[in-house]
Amino acid sequence: MNNKISELKKLAEDADKTLRSIQRSELEEKKNLSLSFWQLFIQNNKSIALLLEGHFHNEAFLVYRLSMEHFFNIFALIRSDDFLDKIKNSSDLAIQKAINELNKGLKAHEYKPLTPENRDNLLNAVKHYENFPIANLGHKIYNAAKASEVGDFYDSVYRIVSLSYAHSTYLSATRRCEEYEVLQLLKNAIDFMKITMALVAEEFPDVS
């Protein structure tokens, strides 16, 4: 296992060097965003290696699951022409929903926790979204995965990991992480890193 952890750490360091060598200032927005996700993906894999070295196996799986979401988003941004709009839209929708839910809760208490200025800012935001509601363009991690050639990993890996490591559930509290699962995590993490590095080499052939 230690050899695999070392391999993952080496790949993450190599990927980090490659990322730093890419001149991003003149890239189109979707490629720039894909590299931002790649940076997160690299940091996730460094974290996975450190967590496994410390025998924090469950925590490594949590980060591993998040790394796969970044993995899917990287490929979707490169392969799909409309994915940039969808992923930006998903964040806008999340803000709209948060503001509306926050307003409901604070309204029940007559906005007493807020200063008058913050209350006015909140109400103005609520009114804005009432007048200009954001349409849902349908972004989900499932759709991100299926937007490229890495979509099969959603069902074969991501969905299975999500059963025990997505939220605080009965399974997460009672199921023991087995050594063979940790070894499979390492194998997959190494493979996903190599696959992503191959994509970057394809899209940015001039980088070192």
pLDDT at residue number 32: 95
Domain count, the chain: 2
Q: Which of 193, 198, 204, 201 is nearest to 12 (CA)?
A: 193
Whether residue 125 sits in one domain with residue 181: no
Q: Are 163 and 171 in contact (CB under 8 A)?
A: yes
Whether residue 112 sits in one domain with residue 169: no
d(CA 107, CA 112): 9
pLDDT of residue 17 exceeding 90: yes
- Residue 119 domain-assigned (yes or no): yes
pLDDT of residue 37 exceeding 90: yes
What is the pLDDT confidence band of residue 137, given thresholds at 50, 70 and 90? confident
pLDDT at residue number 138: 78
d(CA 73, CA 79): 10
Domain of 58 in residue numbering reads as 2-80+147-203
Q: Which of 64, 44, 46 is nearest to 8 (CA)?
A: 46
Whether residue 163 sits in one domain with residue 110: no
pLDDT at residue number 135: 86
Whether residue 64 sits in one domain with residue 98: no
Whether residue 48 sits in one domain with residue 11: yes
pLDDT at residue number 205: 82
Letter for the amino acid at 143?
Answer: N
Category of 197 on φ-ψ map: left (φ > 0), alpha (ψ -120 to 50) or beta: alpha
The encoded tokens of residue 180 equal 């063979």
Mean pLDDT on 4-17: 96
Q: Which of 26, 71, 12 is nearest to 199 (CA)?
A: 71
Whether residue 60 sits in one domain with residue 24: yes
Q: Running DSSP on this structure, what letter comes out for residue 24?
A: -
Mean pLDDT on 197-206: 91
- Residue 125 domain-assigned (yes or no): yes
pLDDT one-digit tens code per residue, 59-77: 999 999 999 999 999 999 9
- Residue 208 domain-assigned (yes or no): no
- Residue 171 domain-assigned (yes or no): yes
Whether residue 10 sits in one domain with residue 30: yes
Mean pLDDT on 183-199: 97
What is the pLDDT confidence band of residue 26, given thresholds at 50, 70 and 90? confident
pLDDT at residue number 113: 87
pLDDT at residue number 50: 97
pLDDT at residue number 89: 92
The residues near 92 (Cβ < 8 Å, ≥ 6 apart) are 134
Q: Which of 53, 44, 45 is nearest to 1 (CA)?
A: 53
Q: What percent of the chain has pLDDT over 90?
A: 81
Q: What Cα–Cα distance (Å) separates residue 161 from each residue in 24, 155, 164?
A: 33, 10, 6
Mean pLDDT on 175-198: 95
Whether residue 70 sits in one domain with residue 26: yes
pLDDT at residue number 208: 54
Compute the mean pLDDT over every residue in the chain, rounded to the nearest whole number. Answer: 93
- Residue 60 domain-assigned (yes or no): yes
Whether residue 189 sits in one domain with residue 159: yes
d(CA 148, CA 87): 15
Whether residue 92 sits in one domain with residue 62: no
Whether residue 66 sits in one domain with residue 11: yes
Whether residue 44 sits in one domain with residue 95: no
Q: Tell me the Cα Rg of the chain.
A: 20
Mean pLDDT on 134-151: 89
pTM of the model as a whole: 0.89
